[in-house]
Amino acid sequence: MRINLKLMILFSAIITISLVISTFVGFQYTEAAVIDSSLQEMKNLVSTKEKEIQTLHARASEDMIFAVKNPQFKEYFELSETKTGNVYDENEVLQFSSSQREIKDDLDKWIFHFQNKFNVDETCLIDLAGQEHTRLVFGDIAPDDDLSPEEQTAPFFAPSFKKDDGQVHIQYPYVSPDSERWVFAYVTPIVLDNKEKPAIFHFEMPLQIFQELVKIDVGRIYVVDRDGFLIADSKYEFSQIPTSLDPHEDFPPITIISESSEFENLLQEMKTNKDGFDTYTKDNEIHYITYAALPTFGWTLVYEKPYSMMLAGDTTLPNLENTIMIMTATISSIGLITVWIATTRISKPLKILARECREQNPAHLQKVAVSTKDEISEVSMALNKLIDQVNQIERQKEEFTSMVTHELKTPLTPIIGWCQILKKPKVMGELTDKQIKAIDNIHKNAKRLESLIGDVLDVQKLDLKRMSFDNLDVDVTEFMEFLYQNLQNAMEPKKIQFINSTPDTKLHLMSDKNRIEQVLNNLILNAIDFVPEKNGHIEIGAQEQEDSILFYVKDNGLGIAKDKQNNLFKKFYQVDSGLTRQHGGSGLGLTISHGIIEELKGKIWVDSEPGKGSTFYFILPKASMEKNNKEKENQE
């Protein structure tokens, strides 16, 4: 009995010591792994924010270039009275001729719509002498007697005239005298056909947009100017009312972060390195930082987290599994009984959890059902939380796609409508050939964008199983002849030989004619893009095969290599990125076609050889939709 007691005490002591050692080792391992993982997340966030900032400037520059594409800017400065020079009355008010006034009124309307479309405080048109010709602040057009003749003193004036056509000068933040807040200025010259630069056009965007861009919930992110003050800081509330014109007085010094010499050394390091990471001590706690140099104004973007935050969040979950494995391996060496007990308690719920994870459908994640009163329950709860977050992201992606496509599609209708109206004689006045060509280009590109948006919507509907289908009798022979006649004009630009090989024998099936036409249009328009400029040949046809109808589109184009054909119907797959850019398109046409044919209970494939052309086939059962609809009703 005494021997058993001693053995039990010894055994308990060994288990206790082993657990302490295992826990210590596991904690050290987990701490290092979590910190490494958190540092990587910090680097990724800095990279993401850097790209968002660059995108902000890039989009603003693109908006500016878009604005001055209005030909009336050149037309105004090509007027003889504009070229002669500015005329003032006795009160030093700029005088406009009737021709100048007419174009200026149109430009004011254009700039007004531009301000409403983009996040712009002020826009201004300034000539080489420093005279404003128009100014809009928050949508209000400045009267003639308020147009300043002394804008050559503006900080952006001289640098902007050094820019060429299509280039934008981004001005360091300053206090706008009109909007009375800190702004960025984006400026581009008006360049005439003879390369003269008689004026510049600029708009001001509030610095607050930039400051809001760096806001985060965990840690602290800030932007440091090379002179040692903060332009943006997620933990600092910037006043929107300037107290001075000097950024040194209106923006906090970097010392509000830390006044230590260690931090000062880091700031010097940031000035010489493009990016990096390091640590410093603040309030007896290690602070981790990652940083990257911004391409504009020599600013530096910094992300900082204290040690206590490095261990927070879901980043510990991937490492807990390794820790448990280390601890289990250590404890298992103590004795078979302890291993068996621990394994029985841990392995069973883990197997259930693993099985449920394996059975998950990535497109529709479901919560796992593991009910225990130990750590496995916490893991399952954390996993369920992660699943909720992923599902929420997927819903947000769906909502975002729907919102973006809707917002993009809404303005296209009036654009296309106005293009058609503008081309009608005597509606908007006689147009020159150059103007008609410009309207045609606008109309063509608007229709192209409308088609791209339609493709995105179709892919989303197919992914969500929300695309609607009809189930009607289709006269295939008549339908193929209609399609053949309807696409004759599309063949004209390349003089393509277009053939319909569908037999005269009447062919019928129950399906959705509009969706079949959508698929054939996709395949035929693809063929048009890739057949040669001379001697192009496209053949379409439909054939009866027992209980099915086989459709095909055959061309003598470039052809597709065998190793590329398996991925051809995947989203955004590009056989050759150079060709894709040359011929355009969304890269979704074949994906949409594949989805539609599958929904119609059919099959689509390609037979192709490089240099010998391609033939796309799809086969549909004669009663495809009837069966499909019954299956959907049963599911509901």
What tens digit of pLDDT does each residue of 385-444 get? 887 777 777 666 666 666 665 566 567 667 777 777 777 766 667 777 787 788 778 877
In this structure, which topology does domain 472-635 adopt according to CATH?
Heat Shock Protein 90 (3.30.565)
Q: What average pLDDT does this structure show over 82-94?
A: 93
pLDDT at 258: 93
- Mean pLDDT (the chain) is 81
pLDDT at 332: 53
Q: In the numeric block, which tokens belong to residue 119?
A: 């996040």
Type and span of the H or E element at 434: helix 433-463
What tens digit of pLDDT does each residue of 100-115 get? 999 999 999 999 988 8
CA distance linking residue 348 with residue 73, whole number of Å: 75
Angle at 565 between CA 559 and CA 570, to 5 degrees: 120
How do strand 230-233 and strand 220-224 relate by DSSP bridges? antiparallel
Residue with tokens 């037999």: 503
CATH, range 10-315: 3.30.450.20
Q: What average pLDDT does this structure show over 239-256?
A: 87
What tens digit of pLDDT does each residue of 595-618 get? 889 989 999 999 999 989 999 999
Measure CA of the first residue to CA of the last residue in the chain; give whole Å: 70
Neighbour order of strands in the sheet with 548-555:
497-500, 537-545, 548-555, 613-621, 603-609
Q: What average pLDDT does this structure show over 175-180?
A: 89
Are 565 and 608 in contact by the 8 Å Cβ rule? The answer is yes
- CA separation (Å) from 2 to 5, 8, 9, 484? 5, 10, 10, 100
Highest-scoring range by mean pLDDT, 322-326, 338-342, 480-484: 480-484
Residue 132: DSSP 8-state:
E
Q: What average pLDDT does this structure show over 31-39?
A: 81
| Position 502 confidence tier, pLDDT thresholds 50, 70, 90 | very high
Angle at 67 between CA 131 and CA 210, to 5 degrees: 90
Q: What average pLDDT does this structure show over 277-283?
A: 92
In the chain, DSSP finds a helix count (H) and a strand count (E) of 21, 20
How do strand 537-545 and strand 497-500 relate by DSSP bridges? parallel
Residue with tokens 């969500």: 464
pLDDT at 128: 95
pLDDT at 32: 77
Tell me which of 22-31, 337-346, 417-426, 625-634 is least confident: 625-634
Tell me which of 31-35, 293-297, 350-354 is least confident: 350-354
More confident residue, 511 or 411: 511
Say whether pTM exceeds 0.85: no
Strand (E) positions, 297-409? 300-306
pLDDT at 580: 45
